[in-house]
Amino acid sequence: MKSMKNDTAMRTSAVTLILNLVLSLGKLVAGILGRSAAMISDAVHSVSDVFSTLIVMVGIAVSRKDADKSHPYGHERLESIASIILAAILAIVGVGIGYTAVSSVLSGETPAVPTLLPLIAAVVSIAVKEWMYWYTRAAAHKVNSTALMADAWHHRSDALSSVGSFIGIIGARMGLPILDPIAGGVICLFILKAAYDILRDAIARLTDRACDDETETKIREIILGREGVKGLDLLRTRRFGSMIYIDVEISAIGSQSLKEAHAIAEGVHDAIEGALPNVKHCMVHVNPIEQEERS
């Protein structure tokens, strides 16, 4: 199963890597020949996608390694570290593009009017990058990969930046050339927003943040629906990279044998891990009670 997930993640990354290389080169040529600062900025953004995908590939490969003596809990958190590196690259690219755009506007010089070529490149980029977003997003859900999901949002931010390029180029060709560098500034904001969202999610997964309410509610329903469980005394969850750790304390009739209590705990454990594939470990403790009231 782990091998299949790794193969899916790597295949997805390889496809987007090749597309990004071709797209980056095409947009850069279109931006230079078509005299569009916005398209050149967009091309730089796409180049950053190439490096981010390489980081994602390395992060996924390392994080999916089996547990060893030095890392008995596994390596899943390394995937979140890859996401943080990706967010940092995005932020640096965004700031660079924003600085170039602001400098161009403040210089007072009249920007060159872009030709039709970068406009065509923007349309192609929007279509391709939006497809890459949905393609990578589907794979991320399939293999439960935070780094792959971060890369998907990187593709979406690139699609949005191409929309900004398209608007800027259209405006410039309609007699408002200043809109081309302004579009570069708008692209900067999209990139920084994507970097912030990726960073926030990665940090949450590195700091043992609890699962969302919907997940915890589902876990409670599974536990209380098991035969022999008379109450749920404690439920703690924490994120570990893309995986989940769960600690549970349940109530059961104290007069039962140790073997019967163990069977109840084992049933709770198996039911949770069966319903939630991304649960890495579930610890179930049984507290004895005298009455059969379900809490």
Residue 69 has pLDDT above 60, yes or no: yes
Give the tens place of pLDDT for each residue, 39-61: 887 787 777 777 777 777 777 67
Q: Residue 72 and residue 67: Cα distance in Å, rounded?
A: 5
Cα dihedral angle (256, 257, 258, 259), rounded to 10 degrees? -110
Confidence of residue 72 (pLDDT cuts 50, 70, 90): low
Name the more confident of 35 and 218: 218
* Across 33-47, 70-84, 124-138, least confident range: 70-84
* Across 74-78, 86-90, 249-253, 290-294, least confident range: 290-294
Q: What's the pLDDT score for residue 268?
A: 94
Q: What's the pLDDT score for residue 111?
A: 65
The token pair at 64 is 């999916």
Distances (CA, A) of 100 to 29, 114, 115, 182, 282: 18, 17, 20, 10, 51
Average pLDDT over residues 287-291: 84
Confidence of residue 291 (pLDDT cuts 50, 70, 90): low
Give the tens place of pLDDT for each residue, 222-234: 999 999 999 999 9
Q: What's the pLDDT score for residue 134?
A: 94
Residue 287: CB atoms within 10 A of its CB come to 14
Strand partners, 142: none
Q: Where are the domains of the chain?
A: 2-206, 213-289
Name the more confident of 96 and 244: 244
Spelled out in words, what is the top-level CATH class assigned to the domain 2-206? mainly alpha
Residue 3 has pLDDT above 60, yes or no: no
Give the tens place of pLDDT for each residue, 138-170: 988 888 777 788 788 878 877 877 887 788 788
Residue 2 has pLDDT above 70, yes or no: no
Residue 4 has pLDDT above 60, yes or no: no
pTM (2 d.p.): 0.60
Q: What's the pLDDT score for residue 285?
A: 94
Q: What's the pLDDT score for residue 178?
A: 76
Strand partners, 285: 249
Name the more confident of 107 and 18: 18
Name the more confident of 252 and 72: 252
Residue 295 has pLDDT above 50, yes or no: no
Q: Residue 81 and residue 59: Cα distance in Å, rounded?
A: 8
The pairs formed by 9-14 with CB atoms below 8 angstroms and a separation of 24 or more are 9/57, 9/60, 9/139, 9/143, 9/145, 9/148, 10/57, 10/60, 10/61, 12/135, 12/136, 12/139, 12/148, 13/53, 13/56, 13/57, 13/60, 13/148, 13/151, 14/57
Residue 28 has pLDDT above 60, yes or no: yes
- Secondary structure, 3-state, the chain: CHHHHHHHHHHHHHHHHHHHHHHHHHHHHHHHHCCCHHHHHHHHHHHHHHHHHHHHHHHHHHHCCCCCCCCCCCCCHHHHHHHHHHHHHHHHHHHHHHHHHHHHHHCCCCCCCCCHHHHHHHHHHHHHHHHHHHHHHHHHHHHCCHHHHHHHHHHHHHHHHHHHHHHHHHHHHCCCCCHHHHHHHHHHHHHHHHHHHHHHHHHHHHCCCCCCHHHHHHHHHHHHCCCCCCEEEEEEEEEECCEEEEEEEEEEECCCCHHHHHHHHHHHHHHHHHHCCCEEEEEEEEEEECCCCCC
Average pLDDT, the chain: 82
| Domain spanning 213-289, CATH architecture | 2-Layer Sandwich (3.30)
Q: Of 38, 52, 10, 54, which is closest to residue 98 (Cα–Cα)? A: 38
Residue 100 has pLDDT above 90, yes or no: no
Give the full edge-to-edge strand order of the sheet including 243-253: 231-240, 243-253, 279-289
Residue 180 has pLDDT above 50, yes or no: yes
